[in-house]
A and B are shown apart, each in its own frame.
Chain A
Amino acid sequence: MIDPREKDRLFEETITRNNGWIGFLARNNAPIDSWQDLEQEIRIAFWESMDSYDVERSSLETWFFSVAKNTVKKFIDKNNKTKKRDEAVYPNPVFVEQDRDELRIIEEFTRTLGKLDRQVFTMYIDDLTYAEMSVALSVDEANLRKRVSRIKEQFKAKYQGL
């Protein structure tokens, strides 16, 4: 059992470090009116999971990542209408010239990827190592490297000349 003060400190540090990523994950997996709910779900799930945190099992970052990812999955299952609403909000990743900054490109490109590639891409731009990705996704590193390389090519082909 983790010491309560230590738990507070680790929670604050991890959340601060990954706040942008939580937001990104929520924006990509929840309808517009539920982003904050999903962010909150992730934080609460992480907080509650910390009592079971096992230092020997994984790093806190990997632990957090698994908790966040599985919480997102649960959230989507719980609100299985999410997908349909999501499609309604984003019928197509439409090209909008004046809004094409890097972050919009990330969101747009993410939507064109398959489920696993999307997770790999999200983790890649979040600067996770291949080892961390491998643990979180249960996919071997060689496979991940190939996927990242393919994603890079897809990205280059889509946004060449910009």
Chain B
Amino acid sequence: MELEQVKAAWQREKAAYFHEVDSKAILADTKLKAKKRNRDFNRQQWMQILCGLFCLIFMATWYRGEGPLLANAGLIVMLLCLAFMLAGSVILKYRLRVSHPWLPEKEFLAEEREKIIARIALLRRNVRWFFIPSMSGLLAWQAGLSPSVPMVVAFVMIVALVSTGTFWFYRWKLRTDLLPILEDIDRELESFRNKSK
């Protein structure tokens, strides 16, 4: 059997599809789903923003002007860190949504690579620069409010547990989700480089 024979069969198959396709229905369905996807994305973003703001405002009510300086400073640090984490996450989601699939494969891959790197950077930034200070803020806030040793010890243990969990999640997410994709993309980009040599 020759390749031209199967090529002709494939063209016949395409022609058969041509008659079967109800392009109007496909168009309507695609439009509907694209709209729904946009709506869902915006709804999720707004839910995240509103819930985040609600939590921040709720925590801000814990602030007491006449309260201990350590507690107030801790609370402010915690609020700022959480606000930065929320903003970073919302901005990144908008950034990830922008895609240019019409670009040549190599450029598209480079764009996807940038997105993965941005996700990794956000995770790292959140854990290193915002999560640890926010936990320190939480400890300072609690220590400022109730300087009793058992209470502080209990809080330190809770913070240690939450921090361990967060670090574990961060490493798991990197190892199982982001790094394998990054490696795949790098491999493909490398093969492009080899091809052009």
Contact = CB atoms under 8 A, between A and B. Distances in A.
A90 interface: no
B155 to A, nearest CB: 40
Nearest to A16: B23
B165 interface: no
A8 interface: yes
Interface string A64-101: 00110111011001001000000000000000000001
Contacts of B7: 124-125, 127
B26 A66 contact: no
B34 A125 contact: no
B126 to A, nearest CB: 22
Contact of A139 (B2, B16, B185, B195): B195
Contact of A15 (B11, B23, B33): B23
A80 B181 contact: yes
A151 B17 contact: no
B148 interface: no
A45 B6 contact: no
A48 interface: yes
Nearest to A100: B1
A151 B3 contact: yes
A70 to B, nearest CB: 4
B184 to A, nearest CB: 7
A interface, size bucket: 35 or more
Contact-size category for B? 35 or more
A106 B6 contact: yes
B1 to A, nearest CB: 4
Contacts of A116: 191, 195
21 contacts: A13-B23, A20-B16, A24-B10, A43-B26, A44-B34, A53-B102, A63-B102, A67-B101, A69-B105, A73-B105, A74-B112, A80-B180, A116-B191, A125-B7, A126-B10, A136-B104, A137-B105, A138-B192, A155-B2, A155-B3, A162-B1
Interface of B: 1-3, 5-7, 9-11, 13-18, 20-21, 23-24, 26-27, 30-31, 33-34, 37, 99-106, 108-109, 112, 180-181, 184-185, 191-192, 195
Interface of A: 8, 11-13, 15-17, 19-21, 23-24, 40, 43-45, 47-49, 52-53, 58, 63, 66-67, 69-71, 73-74, 77, 80, 101-103, 105-106, 109, 116, 124-127, 135-139, 143, 151-152, 155-156, 159-160, 162
What are the nearest 10 A-B pairs in CB distance? A102-B9, A20-B14, A20-B17, A70-B101, A12-B23, A162-B1, A159-B1, A19-B17, A67-B101, A125-B7
